[in-house]
Structure 1
């Protein structure tokens, strides 16, 4: 999640330099509710000791309204078709959501 936030900050800085300063928080869609909850309220316990710096970095960006962390259901996570083995239904649903049609269909011309 911290790496994703860093990428969003880079994109935000680039857009600002190009004259398109984002007016709303940028969204990092995430499919892990526990990680989102910890980022919003970093309670120090055994599960988070090794990520303490990342948690505070992310929480700071959330509090400054630079980023938002909306939850995405696992089946709606489009990046999964690029990083994991998914069933055929999920694969074809994701292609449809990405606007990718049947590559074997004849074209209109």
Structure 2
């Protein structure tokens, strides 16, 4: 999530330089409920010591309303078709959403 926030901040700064001032918080979609809960939860847990710096960075951007994190189911993540082993149903659904058609399908 921290890398995604960095990328969103880079895009936000680029848009500002081009003259487009952002009106709303930028949307960051995540398929990990635990990561979202840790980002929004102000209580530091023993299990999150290794992500303390990243958590504070994300929390700071959430409080400043620069970003907004929401949950997206894994099967709705279009990038998964390129990065993970997924079921055939999810694979074909993702290809359809991306506009990729089978040119060899009989008509």
| CA offset digits 1:17-51 (Å, max 9, x no partner) | 01112211111100011100110114222210011
Q: Which residue of structure 1 aligns with residue 66 of structure 2?
A: 66
How many angstroms apart in 2 are the aligned matches of 1:26 and 1:81? 24
Q: Which residue of structure 1 aligns with residue 29 of structure 2?
A: 29
Q: Which residue of structure 2 aligns with residue 79 of structure 1?
A: 79
Unaligned runs of at least 5 residues, structure 2: none
TM-score (norm 2): 0.91
Query: How far has the Cα of 1:105 moved from its partner?
Result: 5.5
- When the two chains are superposed, the root-mean-square deviation of aligned CA atoms in Å is 1.4
| CA offset digits 1:26-80 (Å, max 9, x no partner) | 1110001110011011422221001101101101101111001010011111111
Q: Which residue of structure 2 aligns with residue 52 of structure 1?
A: 52
Unaligned runs of at least 5 residues, structure 1: none
Aligned length: 106
Q: Which residue of structure 2 aligns with residue 9 of structure 1?
A: 9
* Farther off after superposition, 97-106 or 57-66: 97-106
